[in-house]
Each structure stands twice: as structure tokens, then as C-alpha cells.
A and B are shown apart, each in its own frame.
Chain A
């Protein structure tokens, strides 16, 4: 077999030169075709690569912005620009769904153009496009859920802008929906000067871009709903406290900027709402609030009916602040008169009883009104005054309106001055303690004193009745209380140095206000003061009011136990005035009760009514509590109470409150007693 091998001879004769040239030319031609084919393949590959990269970049650019932004318009602006420049559309325009007309679309005022002048009319028309609702048919690609390519728009009868498209040489349109779920939020429309149909893959990329932009709309809707619900009271649907605060702040600022009076304010509080809640249940209470909101809404809606002048100039805003508190902001030239008219109308509208759970219920309102007389510099002052006026109305009884006035402002001012002075007095220690002796009723032996605080204000001694309420309200009471406790302990130490070894030890009772007692650090404060002053815990007693005891019963019980563990006697002051249930008394760990002087002072030989006092004494003794009565003024009272078994007493019968020096003098002169009319002894 003839093989092609190393040493095989070439079977063909050598060609002549012409033939060889022709061969080389054919070979060159083959090489050239091969090169062109290779170039074609490379070009096609490069084109595909370029196209897919450009699409990825386009989609990525839009997606990134869509994910970062919460402004759909900003993302639409970017998208229309990027799509135009990447895909070579000379003009792109955005239509958005009309929020006021479902199904309708209108130009968003967002577009991108790189066109010739002859396209200007088309662009202008596109900026003003309005597609009415119901234009959703096959001819109308705007409402489709997918991108739609529409060729020959310049001759399309259903296309409004066909004539202008012809002028602009726009031949085809590509619409891309911006979808949020199945809702078309917006449509991007792009116009092309040629009829080259986009590839399916590109349409898919644009569909995805539209969905990404739709996400921004979805987030915006969600945020809007959240904002709305954050400003709405869910029960009544009225604006809530936050909305009210925003509104009044804005109104106040705008009026001040315009150098005009701020709107009038009404604070409306239902009287007896708690009773409805407690007796008929919360559902009935809620119904009452819903009905109240409806009544107020109707009043506001009908405000024009009772407004004689400038009906359109007024602006009334209603809100529910909390619980049974509603508010009206009344703005406009007649705001003051209108606000007071509203108050009257509200009272009127509540005259009719309403039915709740088959019960006829009549609620009334207390209304506080504040008008801007130009003196307000902050809106919070005005809110405070409307609130104060409302409380004043409440204190006057139900169904009242109080308008905040100069007198109330003066009272407020003097109250503020009082509190400020009190604060300073606390810092300077401008207080003194007086001590009223407490005696064993049977033996008239001196057992202790009650420490009573007095304020030395500008050289005048002010009784506690004139400042304790203000001190409690402002919180100064906690500072004052600490001062009292420290001074009383120091006095106890001095007295025990004067009269050492007395058994049982002389005890100074110290009154502790609820606010001070409810402080989490109260026991620690007591411990520190004892340590600092060197007072023996048996030398002092702590008295709290019934009110403090029942506010937080568990806390109270724990604190009292801790005090007793320190060997401090604890007692309940003003017993009988706090309406604490008698059954609760046995759960409060105390050593004694002090029957309020109102039960004793009125008892005279001719009209004595001791039954209540006796019952209290029986109860106390059953619970093994010792009893102190205060306000003893007559021998008759002492005799009777002694006969009933009451252990201790204090009052003018024995002595008025004494200065520390007088009390000390008494201790030295008559360490054992008896102490009848001690101040006379001192005087003698």
C-alpha cells in the first residue's frame, strides 16, 4: 500500500510559475475569507456582550436608585434619562396615575429629550398629556401590564399626538409600565425615529426596571399610610395628639410670622366619663367617645350656620388628645367669638341624653378656652392656659366653660413666684420647725411631739396651709421633706442630750408627703439622715397620709416594713379623710393611726356624736394599733376619748405648737408632766 511517508516522493509534477501564483492568490483569498469570518464571529460576540452588559448596567443603575430612594419622581427622572441614553431614544416622557381619578393618567412633568426643533410641539404636547379613565382598550398601550412596542404611531388614528409625531419624525413608541402589584403607578413612554422592534430580552429588562420603580411607589404609599395612621386616633378617626401638636405649632408660627393673633383654643373634657367606663364598661365608654366625636364633627361642619360674618374665612380643626379630651383650634378673624360660640353649642349638643347599652346616659363637658391676646410667646403657654381654664371649669362643676383671663394669669403668676421662692427657701433653709406635744390621755404624760414646718418668708412666718399644696404640686416638697426630717432628727438628738435615758424615749413624729414617700430612694434617705445626725430610730416616727398609702399599696407596704425594720414607728395621718377601705387597713403595716381633727373638734357636751370615732377606735384596737387624736380643745373631749380607750392626744387643750426652745425648756422643767396648758407653764 502506498503510504504518505517521510521519504515518499511528491506524486505531482512541479507546477509552472503562473500556476503557483494562481495557487497563492487562491490561498490568499481563502485566508482573507477565513479572517473575515473570524472577524464576523468576534464582532457578533462583542455585540452580544456589549448589549447584555449595557442592559445589566441599565437595570442595575435603576434598581440601585429604586432601592435607595423614597422619592418615586426622582427615580423616574433617572430612569427615563438612563433608558433614553442607553437605548438611544431621542425622547422619553413619564405619565403617572392620577390620584384623584382612578384609571386616569397624566403627564408627570418628567421627560428627557435629545431631539431636533421640529420635535418641540410633540414634547410640549407630551408634557400636557391627560389620558382619561376608561381609555383602557387594545389601542391604548398605556394601561398594559407589560412593555408594549407600537410602530407607525405617526399614522395611528387612536394616537392623539400622531400629527405631531409625524412632524418630529417619531415613528414608533415603546411604553414601559411602572407596576406596584397589579396597579399601574406610572408609564414611561419612549419614542423612536425608526421602526426597529426591540428584542424580547430588552422588553423583559424594561419590565423589570418598571417593577423596581414600582417598589418605590409601594414604599411611599406604605410610608404615607403609616404617617396618616400615626396622626389619626384609631377609635374616632379624628386627628390625634401628634396631629394636633403639629397643627397648632404650624398655625401659631404662621400667625406670629404674619404678626396676627394665634387661633383660639378649646380644651374639652367630658364630665363623668370615668363613671360610664366603670359602670357600663369600656365598650360603652368607647361608644360614648365615638358619638362625641361625631357630634363635634357635625358642629364643625355646620359652623357656617351660626357664623354671621366671614363664614369662609374661619378654619376649625378638631382633634382627640387622649381619653375623653378633645380640642378645637379656631382660626380666622372671628376666632374668639366663634370659639365661645362653639363652647356654647357643645354644651347644647350634649343636653340630649344618649343611649349606651340600653341605658340613657347624659354626659356633660367642661371646656377651657384660651384666646391669644398677644402676650403668648410660645404655643405651649397657650396650651397650658387652655388646660388650666378647663380644670378651672371642672372645679366649678359640670357643664361649664371658663375662658382664661388676666385674673387666672395673675394667680398663675403668683403661684409661679411662690414656687420659685419656695425653691430658694429650700436652698437657704428659710424654714423652722414647731413642735406640738403629744400626751398619753390617761396619765397626761408627755410621749412626744409632732414636728410642724413653718416658712420664714421675708420676716413673716407662713403657715403650711399657704404653701404645702404648691410645694407638692411643684415637687419642691421632696427637698422640703428632707430638710424637715434632718432638722427633726437633729432636734431629737439635742433633746435626748438634754434629757438622757428617758424610757420610753420621747418621739418626734414627722409628716411625709406622698411624693416624697413614693420616691424609690426614700428609705435610703431616711437611713442616711439618721446616720448623719446620729439620731436613734426610736426617737422618730414617720406619718404618711391615707392617700399616699393607697396610691401604690404594694410599694407602701414594702417601704413601711423597711422603716419598721429600722425601728422607726410608722403611722397613718388624717385617718378617716382618705376614704381608704377599712379592710385595706389591715394590710398596711403600721403602728398607729391618727384620727383627723375634724372628727373631734365638733364634739361638744351638748351634741356629741361619737359613734364614728368609737368605730374607728374599735377597729384600730382590733388591729392592735394605737390611736392618737388631734385637735383636742376641751376637757370634755379628753374625758370622753379617754373613756373610750383612746391612748394619745394632741391639741390646744394641752398646748399649741411650740418653738424648739420653748419645747426644750418644758422638757427640762417638767420632764414627766403633767402638761395641761403647757404654753401657760412656759409663760409662768
Chain B
């Protein structure tokens, strides 16, 4: 994820911006895609970005998720095999995409999602212990954009705002 973040930042602001963020956040900076690093470093970089851009950390994480999706699709085409729309993408997270991630990154802590499915909505509920629910929201938005679908993703309940679990509603426009 650090690598994807580096790519997102570098693509948007250039390599110097990434260097600056690392300096500001005091993060280590030498990330390999196969390594495992502290979530705190990730959040520190997000905070630094927020400070620079005048956004909230949540907004930064959401923007990151949205930008990360196409990068991940190109980097890990296997994730999206047989997936041709956002609904399928969301519903196959537990059964296909997270297992695919675990195949590459041993011990990756992927959450388990619960779904409630309607004609124009998919509600996803999960426990976001790592406080990455904003990234998830961004990723879902990225998926809508990736498949060229008209819809939005809301985050009406959040574990980090007192709710029992995080809930993301992906709703398609009629």
C-alpha cells in the first residue's frame, strides 16, 4: 500500500512531494511492495499530506483510495479477472479479491465484509480496526469510476465515530 501511495503522490505532485512528505512525517521511506510496515507511518504520511493540502486526513485517505484503484488494477490484473462491474467487484471482495491479496502478501490482514444487497444498493458492513474505512470508501468510488458507473459511496456509520461497525453504502443512480 505504501508503494501505491508513493505512486499516487508522485503521479500527482512529483517525486519531490513524496520526499517532503516522508521528511515531514518522519517515516522510514524505504518501502518494498512485499514488506510489512507500521500502519502508524501510513497515517503519519496521510496527516502530513492533509497538513500540506488543507484537507482532513479522512479526505486524503478517501482520495488515496479513489486514485489507488486504477493503479492496483493495472498492477494486479488477477484481482479483476471475471469482474466487469462494481457490484461484482464489491461482492467478490471476500471470496476472490482478498484471497488473491493473501496469496501474494502472506499474513495480509484483510477484513471480512458482510453484505446487504438491494436493487440499487449494496451495503457493506465490517470492523475497520486499522482505521482504513476511508480508504475503502475511496476504493469503492474508484471502482465506480473504473467501470464508468454513475453512483456514490457514503459512509453513514463508522466504528471510529462510535458506531458498532463501519458501514459503506454503495448506491447507483437510477
Contacts and interface: CB of A to CB of B under 8 A. Distances in A.
Interface of A: 25, 28, 35-36, 39-40, 42-43, 46-47, 50-51, 54, 87-90, 114, 116-118, 169, 171, 192-197
Interface of B: 3, 15, 32-34, 75-76, 78, 81-84, 87-88, 91-92, 94-96, 98-100, 102-106, 114-117
Contacts of B99: 87-88
B115 A194 contact: no
Nearest to B91: A193
A50 B106 CA distance: 8
Contacts of A36: 3, 33
B102 to A, nearest CB: 7
A601 B115 CA distance: 109
Contacts, number: 78
Contacts of B115: 116, 118
B81 A196 contact: yes
A48 to B, nearest CB: 9
B82 A114 contact: no
B2 to A, nearest CB: 12
Contacts of A90: 94-95
B127 to A, nearest CB: 16
A489 to B, nearest CB: 92
B89 to A, nearest CB: 8
Contacts of A196: 81-83, 92, 96
Given A193-B88, A193-B91, A47 B104 contact: yes
Contacts of A28: 15
Could you say which of B78, B83, B91 has the most chain A C-beta atoms within 10 Å of its C-beta? B91
A87 B92 CA distance: 12
A171 B96 CA distance: 13
13 contacts: A25-B15, A42-B34, A46-B34, A46-B103, A46-B104, A50-B102, A50-B104, A87-B99, A192-B92, A192-B95, A193-B96, A194-B83, A195-B82
Given A194-B92, A194-B96, A39 B32 contact: yes
A343 B81 CA distance: 78
> Which 6 pairs, one residue from A and one from B, show the smallest C-beta to C-beta distance?
A196-B82, A88-B95, A194-B92, A195-B82, A50-B103, A116-B115
Contact of A88 (B3, B94, B114, B117): B94
A40 B75 CA distance: 8
A39 B117 contact: no
A39 B95 contact: no
Contacts of A171: 88
Contact of B117 (A43, A118, A194): A118
Given A116-B114, A116-B115, A194 B88 contact: yes
B106 A89 contact: no
A195 B99 CA distance: 15
A169 B102 contact: no
A156 to B, nearest CB: 17
Nearest to A194: B92
B93 to A, nearest CB: 9
A133 to B, nearest CB: 33
B59 to A, nearest CB: 28
A164 to B, nearest CB: 13
Contacts of A87: 99
A39 B34 contact: yes
B5 to A, nearest CB: 14
B30 to A, nearest CB: 10
Contacts of A54: 103
Nearest to B116: A116
Q: Quick one: which of A114, A171, A193 has the most chain B CB within 10 A? A: A193
Given A42-B33, A47-B103, 9 more contacts: A43-B76, A46-B104, A88-B99, A116-B117, A193-B88, A193-B91, A193-B92, A193-B96, A194-B96
Contacts of A47: 78, 100, 103-104
B3 A194 contact: no
A679 B108 CA distance: 115
Contacts of A192: 92, 95-96
B103 A51 contact: yes
